[in-house]
Amino acid sequence: MIDFEGKVAERIRDKELAGVVLGRMDLGRVVAEGVEVGVSILKVKDGEGELYLPGFEESVLGSPQLPPGAGIELDERQKERLGRAVELRLPPLVAVHLALNTDNDLEDYVPMVEGREPGYIIGVYGEPGQYKSKSIAILGQVWDRAPEIEVETVGFDSYSTRGVRCYETALQTKRRELGMDLGPREMVEAMKVVDATGEVTRLSLKETLDNYIASFKGGDQADIYLVDLPGLGGERKMDGFDVLALFGMVTIVAQRGTDEEATLLGYINDLAEFSGLRILELMSTDANRIGAFNELVSRMVTKEMANSQER
């Protein structure tokens, strides 16, 4: 798993997202742990419709810079809803979608337990056939063994006939059969039995996010959400899912090796040895983004309230 490079980087440089990002509203920049984090609200094309996403960029080498877009503004009601969603201690992606892309009653959502942090959303991205879904199933198994960390896998890839749930089910079935945690080769063997045939049910980004935020109503959140993103390759053009992968969440890129079994065993061994460090690094990046997002949204809402009183 690497930084953005190869064909993914080429397509970013080719400005393929120019027709997808319709506008942006820059909320500002905040320095967190020595890194400057820029926060924006992006308006993106989603099929025949449009929707809003959070956008982040860091002042670090290799971090993709947000694409340009026409300036947009949120109205008073949108700002108020976004401020309320932040008060619910929701992850930025969930807060933006709930507040700006739906008419859901925010009073139906229960705030998180005091003292707990919003869940960290980590996407796995890359070209098709790079074992993304299998990697996430592995990550879920390995990271969930860490003490006091609850990991939930989430499927956003409706382009594939075999999502992360299929592989996760295969691993859970094998674990029950053996009555113990699976070793590296047992994980790889268990996922080989998954049927790769079938038809796909394509969902728009809005439909995908509508399904995802439904689990946040009760106020309970996992510590980490591992998101299986659509593969970028073939004839699929960049769309809102790619904007989300590149700018809306912390993302790691799956890299395909010459041999599937060797690649997956490499992932497992690396994670088993360095899982704590890897988790902390990714969580730290997302924590900085969450902090910057919450601070800048709160500033925006406070300013709007002051302007409203003056009027």
Q: Is residue 112 part of a domain?
A: yes
- Tell me, what's the pLDDT at 202? 75
- Tell me, what's the pLDDT at 290? 95
Q: Is residue 192 part of a domain?
A: yes
Distant-in-sequence, close-in-space partners of 41: CB < 8 Å, separation ≥ 6: 24, 25, 27, 52, 53, 54, 55, 72, 74, 96, 100
Q: Is residue 137 part of a domain?
A: yes
Q: Is residue 1 part of a domain?
A: no
pTM above 0.95, yes or no: no
Sign of the Cα torsion 108, 215, 289, 244 reads negative
Smallest Cα–Cα separation from 230: which of 301, 81, 102, 126? 126
Sheet with 151-155, side-by-side order of all strands: 151-155, 224-228, 120-125, 250-253
Q: Is residue 270 part of a domain?
A: yes
Q: Is residue 145 part of a domain?
A: yes
Q: How far is CA 254 from CA 24, 128, 184, 248, in A?
A: 29, 10, 18, 18
DSSP one-letter string for 207-239: HHHHHHHGGGTTS---SEEEEEPPP--TTPPP-
Q: Is residue 167 part of a domain?
A: yes
With beta carbons less than 8 A apart as the criterion, state whether 136 and 187 touch.
Answer: no
Domain count, the chain: 1
With beta carbons less than 8 A apart as the criterion, state whether 52 and 306 touch.
Answer: no
Q: Residue 126 belongs to what domain range? A: 6-310
Q: Provide block-wise average pLDDT over 10 residues at a time, the chain (311 residues).
A: 56 73 94 92 93 92 77 94 94 97 92 81 81 80 73 78 75 86 82 67 88 88 88 79 92 72 73 59 90 95 76 58
Smallest Cα–Cα separation from 137: which of 90, 177, 174, 92? 174
Q: Is residue 159 part of a domain?
A: yes
- Tell me, what's the pLDDT at 274? 47
